[in-house]
Amino acid sequence: MADLAPYACNPEHTRGRRYDEAPPVGRNQFQRDRDRIIHCNAFRLLEYKTQVFVNHEGDLFRTRLTHSLEVAQIARTLARNLGLHEDLTEAISLAHDLGHTPFGHAGQDELNACMRELAPEAGGFEHNLQSLRVVDELEERYAAFNGLNLCFETREGILKHCSVKHARLLGDVGERFLSRTQPSLEAQIANLADEIAYNNHDIDDGLRSGLITIEQLQMLEIFATHHAQVKRKYPRLEKRRLIAEIIRAMINTLVLDLTETTLANIREHRPDSADAVRAAPPLAAFSASMRRQADALKHFLLENLYRHYRVIRMTTKARSIIRELFVAFLDDPRLLAEEHRRGDEVAQARAIADYIAGMTDRYAIREHRQVFKME
């Protein structure tokens, strides 16, 4: 690992774990967190959860697992360039989507709507908070505690956003949402690496699916610029390779811009510790021009891919699966295995949300078929 900058998080000075444990031997504290995440059940389930396209639509589309790996890889490059702790940034990246429901954002929106309408006392469903809940409470791998007992710094990074109401209940990791301060730089870059990863791979998957076209993408400055550059160098390049060359170059441009801008912000604010980073304004950022181009890309994907009628059809079906399961389980908890039943109504709604959120796309489809089959 490259030298740690003074503003990086240092595993020797972690704010610690929720339950005391002896320090690891042969690994640092953040490596241990990364390893715990890779070995947990929720991590393996990411393989069968949708990013944009439902898992069984095609073997080449991203899933939450490959998305998380791409985020980690981009985040590690950034960490190394900036003198940050690579293991921490990798741990945060690999864990950031652990709380995702089946069927991507549609699944999460529907589960939240169900919780709010049908169990208003239970406090809704936030996928980001659920990622923290997975590592804090839901994994069952240790004799002495629930969850994975990760370091504060990893948990801080996993919780990207959170309502004030929930923040009050979370203790240490919730504090920054009340004091309106920032998380570590490792967390900030993992968050932006997420954005770089999904913007680019959704273009790739969108083109592969045929729902968006190269011609449409030409209206985006960042795409048009790199398209022209690749075309100039390789005028006869076949389409798949052309797309791969453009996307590779776009990721590179975004990573370099983010590195330079962040370094400039660090030079300006001179944080001398991770806590000074937390007290400063957000330091990890794109330049103004790159921010504009990245926003245009996001907006394009929203309008042309995520709201494409074929994606909407897919997500409408997915929403009804989630809702029908939630309603059926809430009406009659006897449909649930013993381990998901609770005596109290609010706790029952939460346990159902945990159960549904943990499902993969195909498991949810199978479960729905079993609950509703007319035989």
| Count of positions on this chain that bind Mg ion (CB under 5 A) | 2
Hey, is 17 helix, strand or coil?
strand
Q: Which residue(s) pair with 63 in the sheet?
A: 50
Name the residue with tokens 């993992």.
190
Residues 6 or more apart in contact with residue 139 via CB below 8 angstroms: 40, 41, 42, 146, 147, 148
Residue nearest to Mg ion according to CB distances in the complex: 194
Residues between 94 and 133 that touch Mg ion (CB under 5 A): 97
Region of 104-112, 144-152, 189-197, 328-336 interacting with Mg ion (CB under 5 A): 189-197
Nearest CA-CA partner of 349 in 321, 375, 326: 326
Q: How far is the CB of 67 from Mg ion (least distance, A)?
A: 6
Would you count residue 205 as binding Mg ion (CB under 5 A)? no
For residue 97, the minimal CB distance to Mg ion (Å) is 5
- Does 186 engage in binding with Mg ion (CB under 5 A)? no
Sequence-ordered alpha helix ranges (H) in 135-212: 152-158, 164-167, 175-179, 185-209
Residue 174 CB, nearest distance to Mg ion (Å)?
A: 21
Cβ distance to Mg ion smaller for residue 93 or 262: 93
Nearest approach, Cβ of 157 to Mg ion (angstroms)? Answer: 13
Q: Is 194 an interacting residue with respect to Mg ion (CB under 5 A)?
A: yes
- Per-residue binder mask for Mg ion (CB under 5 A), 78-97, x = binder: -------------------x
Cα(36)–Cα(149) distance, rounded to whole angstroms? 9
Q: Which is nearer to Mg ion, 75 or 266 (CB)?
A: 75
Q: Report DSSP state, residue 174.
A: G
Whole-angstrom distance, CA of residue 68 vs CA of residue 57: 19
Closest of 206, 188, 179, 161 to residue 311, by C-alpha:
206
Q: Which of 290, 332, 368 is nearest to 107 (CA)?
A: 368
Would you give the binding string for Mg ion spanning residues 259-298, x where CB under 5 A is met?
Answer: ----------------------------------------
- Closest contact distance (angstroms) between CB of 322 and Mg ion is 19
| Chain residues in the site for Mg ion (CB under 5 A) | 97, 194
